[in-house]
Amino acid sequence: MIKFELLKTETIPAVVNLMVDFYAIDGYPINKEITTNLFFEFVNKPEAGKCFIIKYNNEICGYTILVQFFSFEMSGNVLLLDELYIDSNFQGKGIGKKAMEFIKQFAQENNYKKIVLEVEPHNQRAIQLYEKEQFKKHKRNLMIFP
């Protein structure tokens, strides 16, 4: 059974450990102490977004982080799927598909006009999932400052 639960302070350490695993895939730096503090800040700022833990048979197996922004180009409130990670031991069980259903339902219930996400070009498994869920590649590139 797959369940989605809003992140609580007591589950932050488990999500931080998953995030460390996720970031290691692409060699992104992560500091557990800073990340833990950021999660405490995030949980106490509901306007910043939501983090949901994903459970498979009552075991935490992943997480998703959803944040919002406003875009005239995209007709209003937009949901950014900032992160979606399923532990490799749980992949291939339909959890990603269920997560996408959950995220799309969350967006609809909260009147978001669009859902946007970014994905690593080498992550073909994720790209296939998103394309099956009707996501389209955007012609623009993501840029970041500084």
Domain ranges of the chain: 2-132
> Do the Cβ atoms of 78 and 114 come closer than 8 Å?
yes
What is the average per-residue pLDDT within 100-115? 98
Q: Does domain 2-132 fall into CATH 3.40.630.30?
A: yes
pLDDT in tens, 15-29: 999 999 999 999 999
User: What pLDDT, on a 0 to 100 scale, did the predictor assign at position 103?
Assistant: 99
The DSSP secondary structure of 51-85, one letter per residue, reads: EEEEEETTEEEEEEEEEEEEETTTTEEEEEEEEEE
User: What pLDDT, on a 0 to 100 scale, did the predictor assign at position 127?
Assistant: 97
User: What pLDDT, on a 0 to 100 scale, did the predictor assign at position 17?
Assistant: 99
**Banded model confidence at residue 142, pLDDT cuts 50, 70, 90:** confident
pLDDT in tens, 17-67: 999 999 999 999 999 999 999 999 999 999 999 999 999 999 999 999 999
| pLDDT above 90 (res 9) | yes
pLDDT in tens, 59-99: 999 999 999 999 999 999 999 999 999 999 999 999 999 99
Low-confidence winner among 96-100, 105-109, 124-128, 141-145 (lowest mean pLDDT): 141-145
Q: What is the pTM of this model?
A: 0.95
